[in-house]
Structure 1
């Protein structure tokens, strides 16, 4: 009796072909996603650097006469309310909206005024009791970079294009890591330094892979925190689910305005989880004891109360409507403070001086806490070290994008103008790789809808071509 067994023959060529087909499909997705994403990544990196360096570097160069004051010996500064009144008298047709406390003795007081639809930032010398100058807050280099960064100056349509780019970046990162894994080199120290001695496209690929690998985790965090500001995935889904519930104000009357109305013009200052929450309203007997009843409720008393109760540097939003409130707001995402765990928003009734709401970091839900930490990290506001690291990371992203463009251009057939240079995959077996776009599409519905429309369009186009050949 023959009890020996024969080892089944394996079709190694078929296995290699299937592996190559899967690799080519990853490469194709990575390339196609990159062709859309790269222009946006370059734009976001450049505008991000401008926004991060504006306050510490660019603003002092452009407006040196506005951003510094000299304290006078033996002379105290005029009061906060006197500064507000000074600005009111200089802009009688305007509405004073906000007062930003200075960082130090050399920093002027900045007061925001809205006049004839223009958001003015007025610089006040508190020692001499005079106005230094004013700027259109929506026409600064920072405001321009912020608008391009968020909407491409195209409103909701531009916001949607950027949201799609951010979502496609998820596919770009996943496929890039899988391509690295498929081609990884097993020698020790490979991830510590790139391979030297390569030339041309191979050298660009080596540096693209090396830099992209180390940037992938950080870029993923940038994308997720940035997506939370988008108009669909951010505002309609994540932010709406994570907003601070108005019901916790415990019987406090609510205004028909949300916290987002406190944002001055194009810049966003209100903490992410409070933007969609209604503001408390002044004019009732509700609230907790705050400013003593015999003390006038104005900028002086509100700032004094906030400082006596633990707030240091913050911006005071003044009431602009009969039911408006005084709002002292300190948020790391504005650069008011550098510690996001000290975020705080204090609302005070303009008539009674009672505390209508006092919301701090501990009151946020889990996702809102993550955003309170993630947004200032994203913006380089968590100290000087965070700023330097973010600038280096943005420069790294720019390099990876440029390296990717050079690699694609060198591979692209020179005699075929409309050929994208993407590798083809003859295998029709999708396998587990199809989960990459499916999962990313489910995570970001705008991406899912776009991928579905693209798939339907390509299927229709292919069938028309096939029928024409019959």
Structure 2
């Protein structure tokens, strides 16, 4: 082995030993999160799906009344409606209106994230969705089918563990540093994998399944490590991007994008005092006129008298659930104040919006989720197989030393 490769082996070894447990943990929790939505829908199917009816869907006003009857003190923050006739309507309550014990919602489950999630503000100074409790309701009968508090569920806990957020900023920093170290481990691993002679290339691309356990362990680490390294590198890179704010700021500067998203526009004061706000059903009707083929509409009502109504529209074949068009309406007149489709968003914002779907494998749907799940499981094995290889080398080195010591 050349001195350069020897140095890379030393770096690869000690970085791997130092961060091995964290890498195993992060890869395993990441694999669980790859199928978060599918597991959640199977786990609580009655919450998300109903039998489609031949009758038209009920108006949002009637659904809102059913929610208020279920939770009299609740204040409705928005609605999430799917084109799929079998899906329930999701009603988000303003943060803090949980209605359960200690302000917590009902059954444990996964957060159903609003498309276009970011600064979901319903006008200047007021947030729309805000991560409050959510009520699921049958759009044909107005029956409550489930309840969820995004801050108190299994998958949210797993996500917080995965990102180190249970330890606050320090935990996030640790995970960000670990992801950076993982990038170095993958890079040095590729250098070590690269054969000097061309004839050594083929053996490094195959796993000898009929060999002994030591050889299989070696091939799992070397061969499967090579195939998984590209995908693991992308996952680690996006993990670094989500952990450190300076990455997003750097992308914005490189792409000449605004460093911050602009504040939502405000509504004009009504000409007549006491004018009623624009109804959610009227907002939905306008949105459907603009995008009759949309897969999903998210309507966020303003919290303040000067706030605007935000509508996020997910069109067919969108690259991610965050790739929505946005429309802001005056809450009194229903006039469109501003609008922006996904392609018009700043480049930096679109790049940063891809970090999470790429990281979790949701970027192209089920195929990439399966890939992310498998790669995550493989990533969890590499610190283990690498440690076993190191221990085997140490034992072999000690056995080779004994005859020399006896001869002396």
> Same fold, TM exceeding 0.5?
yes
The alpha-carbon deviation at position 188 of structure 1 amounts to 6.3
Identify which of 79, 91, 100 aligns with 1:99: 79
Contact 1:70/1:106 (8 A) holds in 2: yes
Determine helix, strand or coil for the equivalent of 1:279: coil
Post-superposition offset of 1:94 = 2.8
Structure 2 partner of 1:284: 268
State how 1:293-372 maps to structure 2 within 5 Å.
297-310=278-291, 311-330=294-313, 338-340=318-320, 343-372=324-353
Map of 2:180 onto structure 1: 167
Extract unaligned runs of 5+ from structure 1: 1-18, 246-272, 286-293, 417-470
- Partner SS for 2:220: helix
Residues 380 and 390, structure 1, Cα contact 8 Å, conserved in 2: yes
Distance 1:24 1:188 in 2: 19
Q: Secondary structure at the match of 2:47?
A: coil
| Residues 342/56 of structure 1: CA separation in 2 closer, same or farther (3 Å cut) | same
For normalisation by structure 1, the TM-score amounts to 0.67
Q: Which has the larger radius of gyration?
A: 1
Q: Deviations over 1:97-128 (max 9, x none)?
A: 23221352221111122315653221101111
C-alpha RMSD over aligned residues: 3.3
Q: Is the 8 A contact 1:243 1:277 kept in 2?
A: no
Q: CA deviation at 1:79?
A: 0.9
Q: What secondary structure, in the 3-state scheme, does the structure 2 residue paired with 1:315 have?
A: strand
Would you say the 8 A contact 1:244–1:277 is kept in 2? Answer: no
Q: Higher RCO, 1 or 2 (CA under 8 Å, sep at least 6)?
A: 2
Aligned to 1:462: none
Contact 1:37 1:166 in 2 (8 A): no
Question: Which residue of 2 is the match for residue 213 of structure 1?
Answer: 226
Instruction: Show CA shifts across 1:440-462 (max 9, x none).
Output: xxxxxxxxxxxxxxxxxxxxxxx
Which of 116, 129, 134 in structure 1 is aligned with 2:147? 134
Given that 2:186 and 2:229 are in contact with CA atoms closer than 8 Å, whether structure 1 keeps it comes out as: yes
CA gap 1:344/1:401 in 2 versus in 1, 3 angstroms: farther
How many angstroms does 1:60 deviate by?
A: 2.0
Shift in alpha-carbon separation, 1:401–1:185, aligned structure 2, 3 A: farther
TM-score of the aligned structures, taking structure 2 as reference length: 0.76
Report the Cα distance in structure 2 between the residues aligned to 1:130 and 1:234, rounded to whole angstroms: 45
Aligned length: 356
Query: 1:409, CA displacement in angstroms?
Result: 4.1
Q: Could you tell me whether the CA contact under 8 Å between 2:276 and 2:332 is conserved in 1?
A: no
Match status 1:389 vs 2:389: no
Distance 1:191 1:343 in 2: 44
How much does 1:157 deviate? 0.7
**Using the alignment, how far apart are the partners of 2:39 and 2:255 within structure 1?**
35
